[in-house]
Structure 1
Amino acid sequence: MENLSFNPLHSDSEIPYHLLLLADETKEAIDQYIFKSDIYLLHDGIEDIAVMALFKTSDTEIEIKNIAVIESYRSKGIGSILMKKAKEIARENHYKTLTVGTSDTGFQQIRFYEKNGFIKTGIRKDFFIENYPFPIYENGLQMRDMILLTHHLPE
């Protein structure tokens, strides 16, 4: 992948909802975390092809709140590039853990995170039922619980 650039979104830039909505169901849900997150864009020289939002949960932990890749770039290693960048940012800022949450019905996402060194560490019961105004379905199943996965960063 040549000509890719990874950069933080400037504070005066427009929030890339069109990308963030690829990984989250509503603008309202995104607004719950986006204004306190650091947003990063991956650009291919022509357009923004991916987004990642990182949220500091404590002095030792940072959470990936959103990570999305446009359709035409999926299954080309872009997600793994973003995971590598997230780990670099976390290490550079002296975090000990990087966490992410995904739906209990997001089988492909869970496999992706596990492939990138994350392990399942918890469940937020009924997260998608309590935090969204309508039922959301993925893989033919209603999303209920959030699966939490953690990557412990080397010292």
Structure 2
Amino acid sequence: MENFTFKIVNPDSEIPYHLLLLADETREAIDQYIFNCEIYLLHDGIENIAVMALYKNSDTELEIKNVAVIESYRSKGIGSILMDKAKEIAKENQYKTLTVGTSDTGFQQIRFYEKNGFIKNGILKNFFIENYPVPIYENGLQMRDMVILSHHLTE
């Protein structure tokens, strides 16, 4: 496998919207959270192939606000590398829980998070209806609720 490197995006650097938009619908939606996140890029030696934005919800909880992998690297374990890095960052900073939210229609994403040790623990009703100006569809279904999944970190 390639020699991947992680780098944190400097707050003064350009925000990698082209990658973040792979996981979120609009730049406006991204702007609701991105300025309060730490952004990590995964580089394969040639280009940035993935992004992850982490947000401090509290002293004990770190949230994955955005995670995306370019299409040519999908289904190759890159997402799991990102999840491992998120868990490592959370542990290093003494968070107890790592959380993520995804659409109730994101069946593949939910399975991915569960495969990586996350468990469903909540629903934000009508999140996508109330927070996006136009209906969004995934897997032929209108996105309505956000499913919250958590991973409890151990020592």
Quote the offset at 1:102 in angstroms: 0.1
Counterpart for residue 80 of structure 2: 80
Secondary structure at 2:102's aligned position in 1? strand
Counterpart for residue 123 of structure 1: 123
Counterpart for residue 31 of structure 2: 31
Distance (Å, rounded) in 2 between the aligned partners of 1:136 and 1:2 = 35
Distance (Å, rounded) in 2 between the aligned partners of 1:87 and 1:95 = 9
Counterpart for residue 8 of structure 1: 8
Quote the offset at 1:119 in angstroms: 0.2
Distance (Å, rounded) in 2 between the aligned partners of 1:72 and 1:38 = 25
Counterpart for residue 46 of structure 2: 46
Give the TM-score taking structure 1 as reference length: 0.99
Give the TM-score taking structure 2 as reference length: 0.99
Secondary structure at 1:150's aligned position in 2? strand
Structure 1 alignment gaps of length 5 or more: none
Quote the offset at 1:23 in angstroms: 0.2
2:147 paired with 1:151: no
Secondary structure at 1:38's aligned position in 2? strand
Secondary structure at 1:120's aligned position in 2? strand
**Residue type of the alignment partner of 1:63:** E
RMSD (CA atoms)? 0.5
Q: What do residues 90-133 of structure 1 show as CA deviations (whole Å, max 9, x unaligned)?
A: 00000000000000000000000000000000000000000000
> What does 1:45-124 correspond to in 2, within 5 Å?
45-124=45-124
Counting matched residue pairs gives 155
**Residue type of the alignment partner of 2:47:** E
Structure 2 alignment gaps of length 5 or more: none
Identity of aligned residues (%): 83
Distance (Å, rounded) in 2 between the aligned partners of 1:37 and 1:3 = 26
Q: What do residues 20-55 of structure 1 show as CA deviations (whole Å, max 9, x unaligned)?
A: 000000000000000000000000111100000000
**Residue type of the alignment partner of 1:108:** Q
Q: What do residues 58-98 of structure 1 show as CA deviations (whole Å, max 9, x unaligned)?
A: 00000000000000000000000000000000000000000
Distance (Å, rounded) in 2 between the aligned partners of 1:142 and 1:12 = 36
Secondary structure at 1:105's aligned position in 2? coil
Counterpart for residue 142 of structure 1: 142
Distance (Å, rounded) in 1 between the aligned partners of 2:114 and 2:150 = 9
Quote the offset at 1:12 in angstroms: 1.7
Quote the offset at 1:13 in angstroms: 1.1
